[in-house]
Amino acid sequence: MQLAPFFPILYRILQPSFPHCLWAGNPNLKTIALTFDDGPHPTYTPQLLEVLDRYAIPASFFWLGACVNRAPFTAKTVYERGHWIGLHGYDHRSFPMLTTTELKQSLCATQEAISTACRIDANSVRDVRPPNGLFTPQVLNSLHLWQYRSVMWSVVPEDWVRPGIGTVVQRVLQQVTNGSMIVLHDGACGGQDVAVITAQLVPQLLHQGYQFVTVDTLWQQAQTFTSRHF
């Protein structure tokens, strides 16, 4: 059974319950973020980069440490193109299944892989998206204690099960709104279609007047909105 119809409902339930995570940006600004999980992939990610370059838009990538180690040149290329980099764990194990020590090791190993591939400070990569979107209050508390920023989502078209390119595009266009954070995948599951999906989505979203920004910009915009309204 595909879960895509339930993700918007889940978002509406979880977002107010966990306000210290980033779920979306400022609802008053016509900015959105394209985010890609499970990479980098030596074939699918370069194909995606060609599309992003064509439209000169920034994206955000949440990487698996194991994939970075397998495709360091691809990782370095993504970083050098100016895209935002985050952590997705070392090997896609769900965070609630890990002990506190294992979780910290998974994040640190991923930071080190990124540091080696991209030649940047490991501690500069602080955004974390839990694999499968699974977390517990304890996981979030640990991430906060370790000074990571927890990043979630607001539009999840379930592209990893490959329901069809048209279906994925339609789901995104139906759900997108100001501040949306869209989750797609450029890894082994779903990455086969990601370049074509992105190539179809981007011009339509630009035509609707949306501006593409990174997760870091969404953080800044969300914090500004919160400080003005509470």
Domain ranges of the chain: 55-229
The pLDDT assigned to 230 comes to 42
Beta strand spans in the chain (E): 31-39, 60-63, 84-87, 127-128, 149-150, 181-185, 211-212
d(CA 42, CA 59): 17
Rounded to an integer, what is the distance from CA 39 to the centroid of its chain?
Answer: 10
Tokens describing residue 215: 């997760």
Q: Could you tell me which residue, 11 or 138, shows the higher pLDDT?
A: 138
The pLDDT assigned to 225 comes to 64
| Of the candidates 173, 167, 138, the residue with the CA atom closest to the CA atom of residue 155 | 173
pLDDT in tens, 191-200: 999 999 999 9
Q: Is the pLDDT of residue 11 over 70?
A: no
The three-class DSSP label of residue 44 is: helix
The three-class DSSP label of residue 182 is: strand
pLDDT in tens, 109-133: 999 999 999 999 999 999 999 999 8
Share of the chain above pLDDT 90, in %: 86
Q: Is the pLDDT of residue 224 over 70?
A: yes
Give the phi and the psi of residue 93 in degrees, each rounded to 5. Answer: -75, 140
Neighbours of 119 (CB within 10 A): 10
Neighbours of 186 (CB within 10 A): 31
The pLDDT assigned to 12 comes to 74
Neighbours of 164 (CB within 10 A): 12
pLDDT in tens, 37-96: 999 999 999 999 999 999 999 999 999 999 999 999 999 999 999 999 999 999 999 999
d(CA 203, CA 224): 28
The three-class DSSP label of residue 200 is: helix
Q: Is the pLDDT of residue 24 over 60?
A: yes
The pLDDT assigned to 4 comes to 66
The three-class DSSP label of residue 56 is: coil
Q: Is the pLDDT of residue 189 over 90?
A: yes
Q: What integer best gives the mean pLDDT of the chain?
A: 93
CATH of domain 55-229: 3.20.20.370
Q: In the structure, what pLDDT confidence band is assigned to residue 31 with cuts at 50, 70 and 90?
A: very high
